[in-house]
């Protein structure tokens, strides 16, 4: 409950209270170049893209920063990447991917800036390589 009180211009005092409900943060959505879900993208564009996370349908601007993620190319071992961009090992695996194959970015770890709350699991992103 939040209690407020004040003084009106005529000098009389007023007060009121209201109950506030605190909602949990929604599940974050993984992004590549700001796009989420299943994306078609060229290989060279993915190499330089930033992996991100965002809240869909959230009333407040609460930026998220990505600390790392798992990167999977079909036929290649899964790579644990630190940071928000593909590292040299991930780029090498990406170069071995066939045209039309789908690579996955999952287990994205993100933090909300200025908040100590542990976020729910970030949704994965699937990229279909167009070249």
Tell me if 6 is assigned to some domain.
Answer: no
pTM for the structure as a whole: 0.81
Could you report the per-residue pLDDT of 85-95, keeping only the tens digit for each? 999 999 999 99
Which of 110, 112, 89, 93 shows the shortest CA–CA distance to 101?
93
Could you report the per-residue pLDDT of 112-125, keeping only the tens digit for each? 988 888 899 999 99
Tell me if 1 is assigned to some domain.
Answer: no
The number of folded domains in the chain is 1
pLDDT category, 22, cuts 50, 70, 90? confident
Domain residues for the domain of 121 are 24-129
Tell me if 102 is assigned to some domain.
Answer: yes
Tell me if 75 is assigned to some domain.
Answer: yes
Tell me if 17 is assigned to some domain.
Answer: no
Tell me if 87 is assigned to some domain.
Answer: yes
Contact call for residues 126 and 32 (beta carbons, < 8 A): no
The three state secondary structure string of the chain is CEEEEEECCCCCEEEEEECCCCCCCCCEEEEECCECCEEEECHHHHHHCEEEEEECCCCCCCCEEEEEEEEECCCCCCEEEECCECCHHHHHHHHCCCCCCEEEEEEEEEEECCCCCCCCCCECEEEEECC
Residue 9 pLDDT exceeds 90: yes
Tell me if 15 is assigned to some domain.
Answer: no
Tell me if 120 is assigned to some domain.
Answer: yes
For residue 114, the model assigns a pLDDT of: 82
For residue 69, the model assigns a pLDDT of: 98
Could you report the per-residue pLDDT of 38-87, keeping only the tens digit for each? 999 999 999 999 999 999 888 888 899 999 999 999 999 999 999 999 99
């Amino acid at each position: 409950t939040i209690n407020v009180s004040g003084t009106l211009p005529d000098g009389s005092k007023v007060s009121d209270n209201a109950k506030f409900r605190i909602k949990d943060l929604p599940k974050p959505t993984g992004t590549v170049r700001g796009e989420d879900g299943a994306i078609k993208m060229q290989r060279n564009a993915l190499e330089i893209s930033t992996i991100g996370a965002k809240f869909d349908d959230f009333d407040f601007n609460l930026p998220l920063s990505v600390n790392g993620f798992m990167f999977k190319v079909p036929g290649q071992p899964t790579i644990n990447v630190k940071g928000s961009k593909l590292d040299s090992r991930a780029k090498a695996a990406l170069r071995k991917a066939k045209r039309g194959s789908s690579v996955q970015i999952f287990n994205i770890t993100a933090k909300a800036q200025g908040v100590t709350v542990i976020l729910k699991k970030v949704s994965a992103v699937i990229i279909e390589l167009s070249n």
